[in-house]
Each structure stands twice: as C-alpha cells, then as structure tokens.
Amino acid sequence: MELIATQVGKLTMQVDSLTKDMAGVKANMATKDELSSVKAIVIKIEHDHGQKLGALFDGQAQNSEKLDRIEAEVSRHEEIILRRIK
C-alpha cells in the first residue's frame, strides 16, 4: 500500500509540475502574440515615415533646383549690370 501511495504522490507532483509548465507556456504565447502586434505596428510606422521622408527629400530637391535657377538668373543680371557700368 505504501508503494502505491508513494507512486500516487509522485504522480501528483508531476501533474502539478506539468500544470506550472503549461502556465508558463501560455504566458509565453501571450507574449509572442503581443510581440507580433507590436511588430505590425512598427512596420506600419516605418512605412509611413518612409513615405514622409521621401516627400521631404523630393521637396528639398525642388527647392535646390529652384535656387539653382534663381542663382543663374541673378548671375545673368549681374553680368548685364556690370556691362552697363563699364
């Protein structure tokens, strides 16, 4: 009888251990789900910021081209003014 009681005690301890392990696995799964959610949000933010940065670079390129045209026009006017002064 004692042997059976010892075996039942061991089985009870093993079941308790398995229950604790399963709780840990469930917590891990919840963390993985949260991580997946965060990952999706980060990907969306990176995509949106990429588009905004692209628009900023396009605007900067347009401003640079505009300044180049203005500089060329000012240089042309300077040449005309210098010719008239001489």
Render pLDDT for 7-51 as a digit per residue (tens, 0 to 9).
888 888 989 889 888 888 887 777 777 888 888 999 999 999 999
The C-alpha atoms of residue 55 and residue 49 are separated, in whole angstroms, by 10
Here the tokens at position 68 are 């180049």
Tell me the one-letter amino acid at 35. L
Please give the residue that has the higher pLDDT: either 29 or 68: 68
Q: What is the pLDDT of residue 76?
A: 94
Q: Is the pLDDT of residue 62 over 90?
A: yes
DSSP state of 1: -
Can you give the pLDDT at residue 68?
Answer: 96
The tokens for 29 are 């799964």
Interatomic CA distance for residues 23 and 20, integer angstroms: 5
What pLDDT does 32 receive? 77
Determine the pLDDT at residue 71. Answer: 96
So what's the pLDDT on residue 38? 87
Token digits of residue 65: 């081209």
